Amino acid sequence: MHNGAIMASELRHLVDRGSEYPLVRLTGELDADTAPALRAALLDVLAEQPEALLVDTGELILPAPLVLAVLRELRDETADWPGAHLALCDVRGGAAWPGLGWPIWPSAPEAIAEIGRPDPDHRFGLDLEPALGAARRARELITEACARWERPELAGPACIVVTELVNNVVVHARTPMVVLVAAHGDGLSVAVRDRSDHVPTFSGSPVPPTAYGGRGMLLIDSVAAHWGSLRLDGGKVVWALLARENGDENDVSAASMQAPVRG
């Protein structure tokens, strides 16, 4: 299944969600006018927390340094996300993308061969309305996932995280949401996406119990190895990584693929 958009500066992007990993094919010219829209489109796919995101630029007219900076910033902004490995597919290789920092393969099949095929049983999602009982349903999803993935010791902390994230949406954002849970190494990730651009804040200091992103985020910070948020077009995603007590936190978000040529 494909969906796409044609932008004013003749950049076309097609998002293919029917392959092993989401594949964004770019054609035309990427410039300062179209770069923000492309960034928004890539973040929209990343917010679904796929195991990898492939961007095919083989038919793209090579961009100016300013646009390279936009893609570098996207890499930096999402470096700690529990979501996808970013991979560029371009037969022209890393020399065409100097200083980009993304792993680059000649083609999407070669990237998939190195990354490996995704395991659909290692990722679950749930659409919820901002209503009474939403947090309970999210906890049920977490408990089932932890049991299936043999991570029972993470069920409690993960339920704390998802309860706080979902209740924040119910009480403050009041929009539909998507809850995503995925296995990462010996740990797991929890992410909640909603349609509000109000991101949670956390200072580490005591806050009133009614403050948005205060007491709840303090709880999340106490049980998660890492957590964060990022604004998207039309909303945001808030995520947290949880590691086993005796595990290596770095293993939770570590890439499973070998390092290819980088731009």
Per residue in 215-262, pLDDT tens?
678 889 999 999 998 889 899 999 999 998 765 555 544 433 344 565
pLDDT of residue 235: 95
Which strands sit side by side in the sheet containing 226-232, from one edge to the other? 123-128, 177-184, 187-194, 235-242, 226-232
- pLDDT for residue 213: 43
Nearest to 96 by CA among 65, 73, 131: 65
Is pLDDT at 135 greater than 50 in this prediction?
Answer: yes
User: Which pLDDT belongs to residue 92?
Assistant: 92
pTM of the model: 0.80
Q: Is the predicted pLDDT of residue 110 greater than 70, yes or no?
A: yes
155 three-class SS: helix
What average pLDDT does the chain have? 84
Confidence of residue 170 (pLDDT cuts 50, 70, 90): very high
DSSP, collapsed to helix, strand or coil, labels residue 4 as: strand
- β-bridge partners, 35: none
Structural domain boundaries in the chain = 2-118, 121-251
Q: What's the average model confidence in pLDDT over 137-154?
A: 97
Span 71-75, average pLDDT: 86
What six digits make up the tokens of 110?
Answer: 């070669």
Pick the CATH number of 121-251 from 3.30.565.10, 3.60.150.10, 3.40.50.620, 3.40.50.150: 3.30.565.10
pLDDT at 69 over 70: yes
The pLDDT value recorded for residue 8 is 45
Beta-strand relationship, 103-105 and 11-16: unpaired
Q: Decide: helix, strand or coil at residue 80.
A: coil
Please state the separation of Cα 188 from the chain's center in Å: 13
* Fold type of domain 2-118: Transcription Regulator spoIIAA (3.30.750)
Residue 26 has pLDDT above 70, yes or no: yes
Mean pLDDT of 99-114: 92
Q: How confident is the model at residue 152 (pLDDT cuts 50, 70, 90)?
A: very high
Say whether 78 sits in a helix, a strand or coil.
Answer: coil
H helix runs in 19-154, sequence order? 35-46, 65-77, 108-115, 134-148
Of the pLDDT bands very low, low, confident and very high (cuts 50, 70, 90), residue 131 is very high
